[in-house]
Chains A and B, each alone.
Chain A
Amino acid sequence: MTASNIWRYIISFVFLLATVKTIAQQDTISPVKKSRPYAIRIGYDIGKKIWSGINRGNIDEIHLQFSRRKNIIGFYAGTERMPYVHPEYQFVTKGRYIKIEYAYNFYENWGDMHNAITLGFRYGRAFFDYHITSVSTAPQAFWPQRVMDTDIRYNNLNAHWLETTASVKTEIFHGFFLELYVSGKYFLNGSHPANFDILYIPGFYRTNISRFGFGLGYGISYRIGL
């Protein structure tokens, strides 16, 4: 991710926050209603959609959460198509992922409000293909470097990882919540493609030697109390 892309991402995020703030301030103290213990929340990750679009790819991620009072079980499912551009090679990742989450809501709500500050643990698993479209290779001195279009494919790759995620959910209008989150990720294991490596995982982002990854983003969700 280039610096300018990071700024575009953050700026779009700030705009979203500004809307939250104005809407959230319209809250008035309503008569205290007894909260129902169970809830279903269905959500969509806007941050990933915008970030992937800026980077000439596409990510759609939806999630479903079931909660009983402060305990939350979540399921996340996403599809991705993301290019990876390196000075020496380029490839496209296409794939799907799922994440299963347990989270706990630490926020004490008033009455019938359902804001949340949660800390959660997720297990993620992805299934994906790589298509290497360009490779550059340099000989030893004298001969020219060669940049060639390639059609190298690695199909049926998979990987899994762990995440810990902190998130804040604020109700922006009735039943709709805006969620901001940060997550730390730890790559567990994955396929070992012959003559290549796992460099990008849908739902995880780029891998690196330390095995750690980082994510931040925002999404919107709709909550139904049961």
Chain B
Amino acid sequence: MIKKMLVILAVIAIVSCERNDLCIDPGTPGVVTVFYNGISQQRQAVDSLVVLSRNGDTVIAPVRTDSLVIPLPVQGNEVKMIFQYQHGNLRNPDTIRFRFTPELQFISKACGFKTVYTDFNAALVPDNDNWIQSVQPVQTRIDNDSIKHLAIYY
């Protein structure tokens, strides 16, 4: 009786060992950015755009697109990124300064925490040859990737 019981217990203990939960929920969001023609106010793709960090590392490789998701760091309150318009040999880097307050938000047992951003703001750093006309934050809170946070007119 006890032997049987022991075998059953051992089997149950091993089988019931916690399965590895898979994290399938979305993690930390980025800044959903949409590009508009400054005159027509219509969505318009940028021919070739590359996003670089201040150190010149590529954040987003050259792409032709009218929308981007820009990753923000999960610490600090401010970051500057270079949005470089490329056309042939022409390179026109414009700097956008992002300000934000990162906050931890619990997702689930399997995923743990993600970062969401409050007090989000973005501004164009003027130089003597901006290809971007204006930068308009649409949201002050960034907690998912499914709505527009930032509009860039050029």
Contact = CB atoms under 8 A, between A and B. Distances in A.
Interface stretch (B40-48, B87-95, B112-120): B112-120
Contact of B13 (A6, A14, A148): A6
A205 to B, nearest CB: 9
Nearest to B60: A142
Given A136-B112, A139-B115, A14 B6 contact: yes
Given A1-B18, A196-B106, A140 B10 contact: no
A136 B73 CA distance: 13
Interface of A: 1, 3, 6, 9-10, 13-14, 17, 20-21, 86-89, 135-146, 148, 150, 152, 168, 170, 180, 182, 195-197, 199, 206-208, 214, 216
Contact of A135 (B10, B53, B112): B112
A140 B12 contact: no
A137 B69 CA distance: 18
B109 A143 contact: no
B6 to A, nearest CB: 6
A124 B21 CA distance: 26
Interface string B81-114: 0000000000000000000000011101101111
Contacts of A144: 73
A137 B16 contact: no
Contact of A21 (B2, B10, B72, B104): B2
Contacts of A1: 17-18
B30 A140 contact: yes
A148 to B, nearest CB: 8
A164 B57 CA distance: 59
B112 A17 contact: no
B77 interface: no
Contacts of A207: 109
17 contacts: A17-B2, A17-B6, A137-B28, A137-B104, A138-B74, A138-B114, A139-B71, A139-B115, A140-B27, A140-B69, A140-B72, A143-B71, A143-B72, A143-B74, A180-B9, A208-B109, A216-B13
Contacts of A89: 112-113
B24 interface: no
Given A168-B5, A208-B109, 12 more contacts: A6-B14, A86-B112, A135-B112, A135-B113, A137-B74, A138-B74, A139-B74, A170-B2, A182-B12, A199-B109, A206-B18, A216-B13
B52 to A, nearest CB: 10
Contacts of A6: 13-14, 17
